[in-house]
Amino acid sequence: MTEQSIDDVEQRFLDLRKEYTSEQWRDFKMLLVKVEELVETDVPLAYRLMQRVKNLDPSSANRKRLRELKNILLVKHPELMSLSSVEQSRSSQALNKIEDTLLKGKHKLQNSDFKMLLKPLFVFVVIPFLLFAFYQIFWASERFESRTQLILKQPDGAATLDPALALLSGFGSTSFGDDNELLKAYILSSDMIDFLQHKIALKEHYSSNKYDFYSRLSSDATKEDLHKYFSKHVRIEIDAKSSVLSIFVQGFEPDFVNQLAAHIVQRAEWYINEIGHNLAKEQLLFVQKEHQLSEKRLQDAKRVLLAFQREHDLLDPEAEGMALQRITYSLEGEIAIKQAELNALLSAMSEQAPAVLQAKAQLNSLNQELIQQRSRLTKSGKVGEGSENSSVSVSEILSRFSDLKIDLELALSAYSSSQVSLEKSRIEAYRQLKYLVVVESPTLPEESSYPKVFYNLTLFLTIALMLFLIGRIIAATVKELR
């Protein structure tokens, strides 16, 4: 009866085994939950399954629970206590098989064909290659790759500025190579990783237990580890001729890598737009400051010119100079006429004649007036009637007035140019100075791109053979030296 009961328990145990996959059958936590369910209905099977749990995880808690089930089994089914010896008998049988295998192995070592297995080539090359091949073919998780292509474009922003200001500010000088490198650096930056983590849980995907240990990210990885892992699984290529920026992202699921590439494009476009708007605002601020300086220079030039006119009581020194020059020419003409009249009188009268004396007096008066008018033009003399200023020549006043007038005209020209540039820059501040054009939308892969099994196996075998040959050469050299 006892043997039959034990066989029944073993049969139920085998039937239970068929309900689980190999991976589930090795999961002691799942089996432990099943044990607790069976305690109420089938204590012998629960005890038998608990033995399995204890073998998988021989922790103190599992051993304690096994003892508790054993005590329950003693009370309810004492005839089944020999069940605990089943595992021991199986273990002894396994040990006997191992001993038999070792004994047979000793006989096989005498065979030259089996000795070949212990050769260095087999140990250091063939076995590692087979293990690596098993990992690559059966264990390594598939990785999918999504591709997208972008290009940076920029409108003719320099056309909105005055040429002089555009030259001074350096606006319009574009280097898409530098912009592409800047965009590449941002895509691989920690800021991009934080954005992707917030949007699509980047770390949770890369560290999921569904994928093999060597391919996935560690579950307790730091931000630095995540950044290194992300940098290895995101590849960016820049075409020097066309300036097209190609982005390749890897992941364990096709839909995920497609979403990952789409979010990278979205964030990159936001980054370029943000830079463009900031540059436009800085440009507007620069033009506003230049306009304020131009306006101040214009007001200063007007104020200086008005002060100069008030100082000398002159509206237009150029007109004043022309008037003085005409007076001088008129006096010279009158002097010539009076001199001719005097010469005519002297030819007919004596020098003491009243007419001669009167002509000489008029001539002297005209000469004095001519000297005074000439001094006003070139030498010291009063500028105008009632002037309280120190004597200043008209030529000097005219020279200073011309300088002030030129300054005013230059200030007015600069003010007009800055006014036009300011209005155009106001519009430019709210436009995208640079924007991304999506040449190719993120692809949805249908086949895995990694691992490249044939390439990896070939490379591994080549390196293993090279290292093996180098080791043999070194060993042979050392042996020869001895």
88 and 17 within one domain: yes
Three-class DSSP category at 461: helix
- Indicate the helix (H) or strand (E) that contains 440: strand 435-440
* 292 domain-assigned: no
* 282 domain-assigned: yes
155 and 271 within one domain: yes
Partner residues linked to 153 by β-bridges: 435
* 114 domain-assigned: no
154 and 277 within one domain: yes
Chunk the chain into consecutive blocks of 10 residues (it has 482) and report each block's average pLDDT, rounded to whole numbers.
69 84 84 84 83 85 84 73 48 46 48 57 91 93 95 66 49 63 94 95 94 91 95 94 94 96 95 83 83 87 82 66 72 82 78 80 80 64 44 69 82 85 74 80 94 94 94 88 76
Q: What pLDDT score does 456 carry?
A: 94
Q: What pLDDT score does 24 carry?
A: 84
Q: What pLDDT score does 474 carry?
A: 93
How many whole angstroms separate alpha carbon 447 and alpha carbon 430? 44
Contacts of 287 (CB under 8 A, 6+ apart): 161, 165, 418, 421, 422, 425
pTM: 0.52
CB burial of 303-323 (b: ≥16 within 10 Å; e: otherwise) equals: eebeebeeebebeebeebbee
439 and 389 within one domain: no
Q: What pLDDT score does 383 carry?
A: 43
State both tokens at 375.
Answer: 């001094």
Q: What pLDDT score does 126 carry?
A: 92
417 and 335 within one domain: yes
Q: What pLDDT score does 232 carry?
A: 95
How many other C-beta atoms are found inside a 10 Å radius of the C-beta of residue 455?
A: 11
Detail the DSSP E strand segments found in 131-176.
144-153
* 295 domain-assigned: no
Under 8 Å between Cβ of 297 and 414: yes
* 267 domain-assigned: yes
* 183 domain-assigned: yes
Q: What pLDDT score does 169 carry?
A: 47
The count of domains in the chain is 4
101 and 49 within one domain: yes
Q: What pLDDT score does 331 carry?
A: 78
10 and 101 within one domain: yes
CATH number at residue 443: 3.30.1890
Q: Integer distance in angstroms from the first to the last C-alpha of the chain? A: 73
Enclosing domain of residue 472: 119-140+452-482
162 and 91 within one domain: no
398 and 323 within one domain: yes
Q: What pLDDT score does 389 carry?
A: 46
